[in-house]
Structure 1
Amino acid sequence: MAGQTYTERPPAPRLAALVTTTWVQRIPPGTPAYPQRHLPTGGVELRCVVGYEPRVAGALTGPHVELLAPGTTVVGLRFRPGAAAAVLGRPVADLTEVVVDAADLWGTAAAAAGERVAAATTDEAAVAALEDLVAAAAVRTGATAPEPLIAEATRRLMPWRGAEVRAVGTELYVSERGFRRHCLAGVGIAPKALQRILRFQGFLARTQAAMATGTEPSGDGLARLAVDTGYADQAHLTRECVRLTGVTPRVFLRGAADTCACGHDHSASYAPLLRAAGLAGSFKNAAGGAPSLTA
């Protein structure tokens, strides 16, 4: 995997309320094909393989492995939970677990964005092409942020909040059935699935912070991180990790450490999670050189 890189950056300020992160991933020519393990994040993604038109990937509920050929460069961005529905001006439940051509949603504007990505001479210009596509779509639908109910529900379902799904719906003055309907339309997945995904993302962020301070996330360390993130115990974490990644935590983290050490930067995804959990200082250490732990 030498030379294979993945670098995240925050979105342009104009899209910060709709997009969590942007990225550029490169698989150098002459290297083996790279098995990219896409994990559930709660967000819809817009991805563009350089030389092709952009595609939209709906929210995942489990892992999906995509083999990236040598010489491939992928430019992408990830929407906040609920933001894609606002930008598209339509429910996204039919996008769950599927990938569609962006042209099916945005017509010739998507093809033009793909051409701009291919012609870009810098990472910034390539990312800007996708950001402009999203910004134009947001203007057409009047989207400035996810639906308030979804945004607040996402905040309350974060792992450090420890809220019960049913209680969150009650606190937001929506019935259990209505809460589920809102989440399926806005995010593409049910509230309980969203909570599972957010909790696992929180676990990965805490693992990154632990690794950055020299703590090995195994044995008692892994058990402690599991409880700190909201899992009942390490066995609970293991079950959820297998559900969301396809492998056990130890296997996943070992593989992620091996691949991410070659040049992955996931700081844009994990910084907000760590700050919200009160671990901003740990993140500063992580951003200073320790490999991030998502593949």
Structure 2
Amino acid sequence: MGYRELAAPAAPGLACAWVQTVPASAGRLVQRVVPDGCVDLIWWSPDAELMVAGPDTGPMPTPLAPGTTLVGVRFAPGRAVPALGVPADALRDARVPLGDLWGASAVRLAETLAEAVPEPSPAARQADALIAAVAERVRAAEPVDPIVQPVVAGLASGASVRDVADAVGLGERQLRRRALASFGYGPKVLQRVLRFQRALREARAGRPLAEVALAAGYADQPHMSHEVRELAGVPLSALLTPSS
């Protein structure tokens, strides 16, 4: 499958845009989508449908038919809520039509993407149109919850939930409530997802798995193996290609 990430769009909170194509000659495929703390807005051919994906708490097997093209924009953890207009826990482990959230503007955007000219690269043109629409929506939206950045930084560093709550001036119960709204997860789950994603990056960079476990913040390699299987459903070694 042809998967490639594009440069991060010039709008706050957008991590990247991406394009994935399945050759018409390919058999029917099932792609394993694993938790990353992000929310993706995806245009999906041949149905010309716009969907909102995630945040996920476990593996999400996704069938891909031959000839399918997907064009997506990815929100960084905690950044999607103002633009989409619903709390993140309402989208957890879900795939929701964008029209349910944006109404007629989502229909118009889907039509614009479907009408992209076939040459030289329809996916690139669709990505440009999707990026522009999402960036405009982000710039017009309310600011994200101010705890988002320090919570992500603190949890990614390995700080305890209590220490992160103290750092942002909240009790642990308040932190959980606001984390659910912003990230779709409580802080403990978010920390597990961020640690898993760091392990995945380190492993894909070629580091031995014992080193990956320590670098990502696990107690040891068996601890990492257990958590990776819980979140991804397969060993880390099965996820070492970027489209896994």
State the partner residue of 2:128. Answer: 128
After TM superposition, give the deviation of residue 119 of structure 1 in Å.
2.2
SS of equivalent to 1:54: strand
State how many pairs are aligned. Answer: 239
TM-score, normalised via structure 1 length: 0.77
**1:12 positional shift:** 2.2
1:285 matched to which residue of 2? none
Which segments of 5 or more consecutive residues in structure 1 lack a partner in the other structure? 212-216, 261-292
Once the two structures are superposed, the pairs formed by residues 1-295 of structure 1 within 5 Å of their partners are 4-13=1-10, 15=11, 17-51=12-46, 52-121=48-117, 122=121, 123-143=123-143, 146-158=144-156, 161-209=157-205, 211=206, 221-250=208-237, 252-253=238-239, 256=240, 260=241, 293=242, 295=244
Amino acid at match of 2:183: V
SS in 1 for 2:80: helix
Q: Deviations over 1:161-213 (max 9, x none)?
A: 2211221111111000000001100111111111111111111111122x2xx
TM-score, length-normalised on structure 2?
0.92
Alignment-mate amino acid for residue 44 of structure 1: V
Deviation per CA, 1:136-172: give whole Å up to 9, x if none.
33344334xx3220121111111xx221122111111
8 Å CA contact 1:19, 1:77 repeated in 2:
yes
Three-state SS of the structure 2 residue aligned to 1:116 is helix
Q: Distance in 2 between matches of 1:114 and 1:58?
A: 19
> Unpaired segments of 5 or more residues in structure 2?
none
Q: Percent identity?
A: 37
Distance in 1, Cα, partners of 2:6 & 2:44:
18
Task: For 2:29 and 2:226, locate their aligned partners in 1 and report how far apart those are by CA, in whole Å.
Answer: 26
Which segment drifts farther, 21-30 or 49-58?
49-58
Q: 1:107 Cα shift?
A: 1.0
Q: SS of the residue aligned with 2:218?
A: coil
Paired with 2:161 and 2:142, the residues of 1 have a C-alpha distance of 29
**In 2: Cα distance, 1:33 partner to 1:70 partner:** 6
AA at the equivalent of 1:196: R
User: Cα offset for 1:124?
Assistant: 3.0
Q: Which residue of 2 aligns with 1:266?
A: none
CA distance in 2 between partners of 1:124 and 1:71 (Å): 16
Q: Which has the higher helix share?
A: 1
* Contact 1:53/1:113 (<8 A) preserved: no
Q: Please give the secondary structure, in 2, of the residue aligned with 1:48.
A: strand
Structure 2 vs 1, CA of residues 192 and 93 (structure 1 numbering), >3 Å: closer, same or farther? same
Question: C-alpha separation between the residues in 2 aligned to 1:66 and 1:130?
Answer: 21
- Asked if the contact 2:228/2:235 (under 8 Å) is kept, the reply is yes
Match of 1:43, as an amino acid?
C
What displacement does 1:108 show?
A: 1.5
Aligned to 1:264: none
Instruction: Measure the CA separation in 1 of the matches of 2:113 and 2:189.
Output: 33
Kept after mapping to 1: 8 A contact 2:14/2:74: yes
- Displacement of 1:41 in angstroms is 0.8
Distance 2:243 2:209 in 1: 16
In structure 1, distance between residues paired with 2:212 and 2:8: 29
Contact 2:45 2:69 in 1 (8 A): yes
